[in-house]
Structure 1
Amino acid sequence: LEDFKFWMAHELAHIYTPDLAGTEEGEDYADAFAGALLFPEPCVEACYPAISRKRNEQSVIKTLFNCAREHFISINTIYRQVQDFARARQLPALKIAENELHATRNYFSGPLMISEVLFAPLPPAPNVYIAACKHQFQSDFFIAMKKMLRERDTGSSYVQQILDISIHDAKSLYEELRH
């Protein structure tokens, strides 16, 4: 659910900025908008001191997880907002490598609430998932992704990264999109 909230906020930013559609600037703006909407500066100011005092990666990750759980948003959103805040204020960055954050994050799966609302039984077959997303969100996202996967011969790990899903789910969607 927390990643779903980010992507819905991200897409909302695109609605407000159609002139930036299809540009890197538009994507950067949409990410910044979603982060600021879900975890605004006052929240970051309250969270940063506790996180920045941690001395090792595990303590930083645990504190990020607690903050994400408290605000019911993605740990990645917290991480990015805190890093941007530190950079803007010329404060020390978090003592964690981004790849470590993602490795830990991928190990723990969050609640499937959106999936439970959209699909019964779980998990849906890839073609059912793609059709439901297209219908529910009136989006050509998977059409565009299918085209890109064919043109660039991108692998399932790219699907995993873009959708922030398990590698197993990414492989299933990748195979469906490649056909």
Structure 2
Amino acid sequence: MDRKLNRELVKATALRSGYSFTKLAQEVSVSTESVSKWMSGETNPRPGKAIKLGKVLGLSYEQMFGVRDRTLEPQVAFRLVRNQDPSEEHHERAREMGRMYEDLVPFLPFNQFEAPPRLKSPTADYEYLDELCGSLRREMGLEADVPVSLPSIFNHLSDKLQAVVIPVFWGHRKNKAELAAHIYSRKTKTTWIPFNLDTKLWDARFWAAHELAHVYTFDVLDDEAGEIFSDAFAGTLVFPVPIARAAYEELAKVRLKTQKFNLIVEFAKRMHVSPICVAKQVDRYAVAKKQPPVNAEYDGIYAAISRMSKREKTVAEEFFGGEEPSVGQLLEAAANIFKSPFFDTLSKYLKTNGGSPSFIQGLLDCSLVDAKALNSELA
């Protein structure tokens, strides 16, 4: 964190509110020693704890740390499970991670002279996305009727767009509901994508494609337009128009919801995506082609999918089985499945600057135990 806590204000507010260091530590869920270090200036609270400290004392983040020049701040975007709205804590934690990622940039294996490409005039128009996603599929060596593999998306992100995918475990702990985060450093013009390994496998391709769309448009579209475009792009890439047409034609022949749901699940399994992705793409196809509606996204489909979801594997379960992966397995998967230079880059940084579990903990927003294990392996 590049700003210092306004210790005098925080101490005065705590005193006025009747908070001792011990009581304040209990409210913020840290040790009394941590609070003492904050107040002495030895350390700063991490973003999540800083925001919680502000809530306890009735102080804004800006009051505690001063107004920040946002012009070179990392830009962040989130998608959370169950369409929850990201909190300021989510955003500040991601911006802090982005500032830490900037330290790794000199060690990345990417071309430092050429910026990755951006789309000229991105739009969620159906015909535009059909042509764009068809072109990308051909570039990835994929026919229009085959599933998009996760490695093919991640390889495109790394090789073509110089984006760094970071496999993380965010579903293991309370309130870690991110499917993926997107962090763009304006200062270094680099993109970082922490990808939650606890994401359901049938959602993973869609969210990887969603982040791919963000890389193409993050400094071109504003937040709302970027989310709309990324959702439409992802659906079209993983469930392309020829398959949406075939699904529409099959669904148009049935009337019973049971038959409709079974067909949707059949196409979902065929393309390795979630049934709701199929339903949305079929309905989009009908609207775009001015065909009679089949109402694939009907009332009750979410409840049916929710019941199915309990049996769906996560990305981690697919790649690592039922066991928690070792550090070595995680590093191997990062390189071979996620096509990511992140851990090699981090290793070079640590060997140059000295190992630091706390630095790794901040980079990955992980537990100190996991950070120590990674530090031991990489440094």
Please tell me the residue identity of whatever aligns with 1:111: E
Aligned to 1:56: 256
Quote the offset at 1:59 in angstroms: 1.2
SS in 2 for 1:108: helix
Aligned residues: 127
User: Which residue of the other structure, out of 70, 73, 79, is the alignment partner of 2:279?
Assistant: 79
1:6 equivalent in alignment to 2:206: yes
Contact 2:280–2:297 (CA under 8 A) maintained in structure 1:
no
Give the percent of matched residue pairs that are identical in Structure 1 and Structure 2. 30
Task: Determine which structure has the larger helix proportion and give its number.
Answer: 1
User: Which residue of the other structure, out of 2, 17, 21, is the alignment partner of 2:217?
Assistant: 17
Quote the offset at 1:88 in angstroms: 1.0
Quote the offset at 1:96 in angstroms: 5.1
1:111 equivalent in alignment to 2:293: no
Q: Distance in 1 between matches of 2:243 and 2:236?
A: 10
Q: Distance in 2 between matches of 1:118 and 1:8?
A: 19
Q: Distance in 2 between matches of 1:68 and 1:20?
A: 32
Contact 2:287–2:293 (CA under 8 A) maintained in structure 1:
yes
Q: Distance in 1 between matches of 2:299 and 2:220?
A: 29
Please tell me the residue identity of whatever aligns with 1:115: A
Quote the offset at 1:85 in angstroms: 0.5
Mark the CA change 1:93 to 1:113 in structure 2 (over 3 Å): closer, same or farther.
same
Contact 2:265–2:275 (CA under 8 A) maintained in structure 1:
yes
1:45 equivalent in alignment to 2:245: yes
Larger radius of gyration: 2
1:33 equivalent in alignment to 2:233: yes
SS in 1 for 2:251: helix
Quote the offset at 1:22 in angstroms: 5.5
Quote the offset at 1:19 in angstroms: 2.1
Relative to the length of structure 2, the TM-score reads: 0.31
Please tell me the residue identity of whatever aligns with 1:112: K
Aligned positions of 1:162-177 closer than 5 A = none
Q: Distance in 2 between matches of 1:96 and 1:81?
A: 9
Please tell me the residue identity of whatever aligns with 1:108: M
Deviations 1:90-148 (A, max 9, x none): 212224554411110001125315122368647xxxxxxxxxxxx99xxx9x98xxxxx
Please tell me the residue identity of whatever aligns with 1:105: I
Mark the CA change 1:20 to 1:93 in structure 2 (over 3 Å): closer, same or farther.
farther
Q: What stretches of structure 2 of length at least 5 have no aligned partner?
A: 1-200, 325-341, 344-361, 366-379
Q: What stretches of structure 1 of length at least 5 have no aligned partner?
A: 123-134, 144-179
Runs of 4+ in 1 over 3 A off after TM superposition: 95-99, 117-122
Mark the CA change 1:23 to 1:42 in structure 2 (over 3 Å): closer, same or farther.
same
Quote the offset at 1:29 in angstroms: 0.4
Aligned to 2:188: none
Relative to the length of structure 1, the TM-score reads: 0.62
What is the RMSD of the two structures over their aligned residues, measured on CA atoms?
2.7
Contact 2:283–2:296 (CA under 8 A) maintained in structure 1:
no
Quote the offset at 1:23 in angstroms: 1.5
Q: Distance in 2 between matches of 1:95 and 1:30?
A: 23
